[in-house]
Structure 1
Amino acid sequence: MAQSNQGIQTLLEAEKEASKVVAKSRQYRTQRLKDARTEAQKEIEALKAQKNKEFVEFEKQYGGNTDETVTKANAETEEQLKEVNTLYQKNKQQVIEKLLSGIVNVQPQIHPNAKKAKPAA
């Protein structure tokens, strides 16, 4: 019986030792997960900072200054308005003459597709 008790005692000690190893492994795994999360968060922050920097550079390069853009658009609009007014003043009289000649000089004609009506019998 003593040998049986000693075998059981050895098994219990081995089980305790195994549970300690399992607990230690779980603790190690948990710590590794925490470290991995921390490292991943640092990488994410670094990548985010880099992308923000690239965006600011891109915006500076291609965005331009909105005041300059508005000023340039206004200048182009004014130039086009002047051109339209110049053409209007230049061609105004000719347009009026063409309109009046079309209204005053009417030459009535029968449409080529119109057919002569037959008298009713």
Structure 2
Amino acid sequence: MASQSQGIQQLLQAEKRAAEKVAEARKRKNRRLKQAKEEAQAEIEQYRLQREKEFKTKEAAALGSHGNSAVEVDRDTAERMGRIQNSYRGNREAVLGELLRRVCDIQPEFHANYRVAG
């Protein structure tokens, strides 16, 4: 009976060691999976940054001419606005004088379609 008891004890200890080894293997597996996931995330982030950089480069190349056009349009608009302002300042007095002259110079006359009844 003692040998049977010892055999059971050894069997239980062996089972316990096997369970510990399985638990340790699972922990190692989980650590490896976590590490692989972190490495994959880092690789994805690096790839995303690289593609974003390429996109910005291509965007700058494509919009470079558009950017120059926008600057040119802005400059042209400012130049035209300047000419309009100068024209306004130069002609304002003459236009106001002519307008006042026409408003104040009243010459009564009959309308072309007016007919005298009778």
The alignment's TM-score, normalised by the length of structure 1, stands at: 0.64
Question: Are 2:49 and 1:48 equivalent residues in the alignment?
Answer: yes
CA distances 1:14-58 after superposition (whole Å, capped 9, x unpaired): 111220121022112201210221122111110121022112322
Moved more, 34-43 or 91-100: 91-100
Q: How does 1:1-121 map to 2 (within 5 A)?
A: 1-62=2-63, 64=65, 69-83=70-84, 85-86=86-87, 89=90, 92-102=93-103, 105=104
The 3 A distance-change label for structure 1 pair 16 and 94 is: closer
Query: Is there any run of 5+ residues in structure 2 with no aligned partner, and where?
Result: 107-118
1:38 maps to amino acid: E
| Percent of residue pairs bearing the same amino acid type | 12
Number of residue pairs matched by the alignment: 105
Query: Is there any run of 5+ residues in structure 1 with no aligned partner, and where?
Result: 108-121
The alignment's TM-score, normalised by the length of structure 2, stands at: 0.65
Partner in structure 1 of residue 109 of structure 2: none
1:4, distance to aligned residue in structure 2 (A): 1.4
CA distance in 2, matches of 1:10, 1:91: 112
CA distances 1:38-88 after superposition (whole Å, capped 9, x unpaired): 122111110121022112322332354766644542233223432554466
CA distance in 1, matches of 2:74, 2:80: 10
The 3 A distance-change label for structure 1 pair 13 and 77 is: same
CA distance in 1, matches of 2:20, 2:39: 28
